[in-house]
Amino acid sequence: DIQIHTPLDFGVGQRLEYNMLKSCSYGNPFHLADSFPKAQNVTWISTNFKTLLKWEPKPTADYTYTVEFSPLGKDRQRNPHCIRTTETMCDLTNSLSDVKATYSADVRSEPPRGVNSDLIEFPYTSSERFCPYKDTDIGKPDFKIEVSKDKRKTTLYVSDPLTALFENGRQLSIRDVFADELQYKVLYWRATSTGKKVHLSKSSEIELTRLDRGESYCFTVQAYIPTRSISKQLGDPSHVKCSQNDNPSIFDSNNKSHKRPRSICCTVCSVKVKCR
């Protein structure tokens, strides 16, 4: 007769040996899964379409990370630089070719390179959804100030920030990407005052005509995209720049007065003394 033994028929030592053999032969998914901790705090970091996926913690020597991503509803892809890596960051800038698509990503915990595992499905952590066109942060612009000779007009010449995107070998600016959706918000104030005013412009050449002549004004500029969600409409503000003040101070006025220097005349008088 053929006898079939179950683990319950074994002694303690036999059951331990049985479980070890089972783990080696067929894999013990509960034990193996515990050796590959899930990634935590999976976050998209993106500025001017330079897009990184970051997570924690730094892995031990026992496991690595692999990043899989895709536009919603499409097959998963892998970045060759983010397969079984010990890094906690993956640069997906060039992988997200359709900037208006919405993407999701998984960070999978896997064994190191060259090490096999019996696990069919590795533990993973999914990111939030991300659309570069809607979600990338816009960096601070630079600008120059020009005051007309008659002091009636001040013009700000804004340099559109460059992106990490290229087309036919040319680096694209945020104006190339957002076109007419891009505006600039200007915050300005008199250098001697705390009251601030706002001016919106659809152009990168911004003319301001309602300024007091001869007064010094300070400005900051930031990108403004009103078609985005409120939290993503404004880019980073530029550094503060101020125009020159044409009203001379008392000190300057004294220096500029053209007064002739006073000359001190000395008259030598000869006195005759008569001796008796």
Q: Return the domain boundaries, the chain.
A: 35-133, 142-245
> Average pLDDT over the chain, rounded to whole?
83
Residue type, 152: R
pLDDT of 117: 83
Q: What is the CA radius of gyration of the chain?
A: 36
Mean pLDDT of 222-232: 97
SS3 content of the chain, % helix, strand, coil (to 5): 20, 35, 50
Asked whether this chain's domains 35-133 and 142-245 adopt the same fold, the reply is yes
Q: Is the pLDDT of residue 180 over 80?
A: yes
Q: Is the pLDDT of residue 28 over 50?
A: no
Mean pLDDT of 122-142: 97
Q: In this predicted structure, which of 34-43, 92-101, 249-258 has the lowest mean pLDDT? A: 249-258
Say if residues 89 and 120 touch (Cβ distance below 8 Å). Answer: no
Predicted structure pTM score? 0.75
Q: Is the pLDDT of residue 105 over 60?
A: yes
Confidence of residue 246 (pLDDT cuts 50, 70, 90): low
Q: Give the CATH fold of the 35-133 domain.
A: Immunoglobulin-like (2.60.40)
Mean pLDDT of 227-239: 97
Distance of alpha carbon 52 from alpha carbon 43, whole angstroms: 8
Asked if the peptide bond before residue 80 counts as cis, ω within 30 degrees of 0, the response is: no
126 or 267, greater pLDDT: 126
Exposed (0-12), middle (13-18) or buried (19+): which is 181, by Cβ within 10 Å? middle
Per-residue pLDDT tens digits for 55-64? 999 999 999 9
Residues 6 or more apart whose Cβ sits within 8 Å of residue 168: none
Distance of alpha carbon 219 from alpha carbon 160, whole angstroms: 16
Residues 6 or more apart whose Cβ sits within 8 Å of residue 208: 153, 154, 155, 156, 186, 188, 199, 217
Go through the chain and tell me how many residues it has. 276
Maximum Cα interatomic distance, the chain, rounded to a whole number of Å: 172
What CATH code is assigned to 142-245? Answer: 2.60.40.10
Mean pLDDT of 173-183: 98
Query: What secondary structure letter does DSSP report for 180?
Result: G
What sign has the CA pseudo-torsion 201, 206, 209, 213?
Answer: positive
Residues 6 or more apart whose Cβ sits within 8 Å of residue 21: none
* Residue 96: Cβ within 10 Å count: 22
Confidence of residue 34 (pLDDT cuts 50, 70, 90): low
Q: Is the pLDDT of residue 13 over 80?
A: no
Say if residues 185 and 234 touch (Cβ distance below 8 Å). Answer: yes
Q: Is the pLDDT of residue 85 over 80?
A: yes
118 or 180, greater pLDDT: 180
